[in-house]
């Protein structure tokens, strides 16, 4: 069966591309809910409802395993879905936990008690909605102790990326990094807590300086999925990639082509 990958917009394509490069024969269905993007400015109930609708669309496309490649939806909806809504034969995975496992140097599936880790100061860059949930700090506390997290809500950044306005996007990165560094002058690590942000990873690295290790999610999530599929081989299926959108097909295809610098063709869902 194909694996579904969902984001509110284009950012999840950074995850899809990493998965496709590491598991090239796997059938993948990507869904961008571009009609309602961005999620980061919406309230929690709106985000939860929109995420439910998108996941159900992917189930209808044959995807019993869905990766929510949207940090806002992961932070707001995934845990609640897993506890209250998910049918027994379906799986929904978020993108926060693999990232935190990487930062805390935990092996996949290590559920031991929280412990001291090498990184003591972490900068988190994410959408306002993701920051407001404190989901990153909560999940981190399950795995590590003694880590100080300073979160910076990056208002406007997703919109600039979606609109292909990279001059504005780079200016916003500079502004958001400067604001965080005033509160945490010497972070050891920085987490790009939005799947749009890896497109600007070099910009974040330049603004933060050479002593800060910057973590983005595509590679980390792809490697975590490889481990998951080894444990759950029923989700493996050879096939092509399919790209779906709730938005305007021509506009989204053009924006995705610019976003990834390669030809992308979406279909309507």
Which residues are tagged catalytic?
A: 70, 194
Neighbours of 133 (CB within 10 A): 21
For the record, the structure tokens of 129 come out as 């909605």
């Amino acid at each position: 069966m194909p694996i579904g990958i969902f984001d509110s917009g284009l950012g999840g394509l950074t995850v899809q591309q990493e998965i496709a490069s590491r598991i090239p024969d796997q059938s993948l269905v990507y869904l961008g809910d571009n009609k309602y993007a961005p999620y980061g400015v919406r309230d929690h109930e709106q985000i939860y409802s929109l995420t439910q609708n998108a996941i159900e669309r992917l189930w209808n496309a044959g995807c019993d395993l869905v990766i929510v490649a949207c940090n806002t939806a992961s932070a707001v909806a995934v845990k609640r879905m897993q506890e209250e809504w998910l049918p027994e034969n379906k799986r929904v995975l978020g993108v926060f936990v693999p990232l935190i496992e990487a930062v805390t140097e935990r092996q996949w599936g290590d559920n031991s008690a929280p412990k001291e880790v090498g990184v003591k100061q972490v900068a988190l860059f994410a959408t306002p909605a993701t920051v407001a949930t404190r989901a990153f700090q909560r999940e981190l506390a399950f795995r590590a102790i003694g880590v100080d997290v300073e979160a910076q809500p990056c208002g406007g950044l997703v919109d600039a990326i979606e609109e292909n306005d990279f001059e504005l996007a780079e200016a916003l990165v500079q502004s958001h990094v400067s604001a965080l560094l005033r509160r945490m002058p010497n972070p050891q690590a920085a987490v790009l807590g939005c799947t749009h942000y890896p497109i600007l990873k070099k910009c974040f690295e330049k603004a933060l300086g050479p002593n800060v290790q910057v973590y983005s999610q595509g590679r980390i999530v792809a490697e975590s999925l490889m481990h998951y599929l080894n444990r759950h081989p029923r989700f493996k299926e050879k096939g092509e990639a399919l790209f779906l959108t709730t938005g305007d097909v021509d506009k989204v295809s053009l924006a995705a082509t610019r976003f990834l610098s390669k030809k992308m063709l979406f279909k309507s869902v």
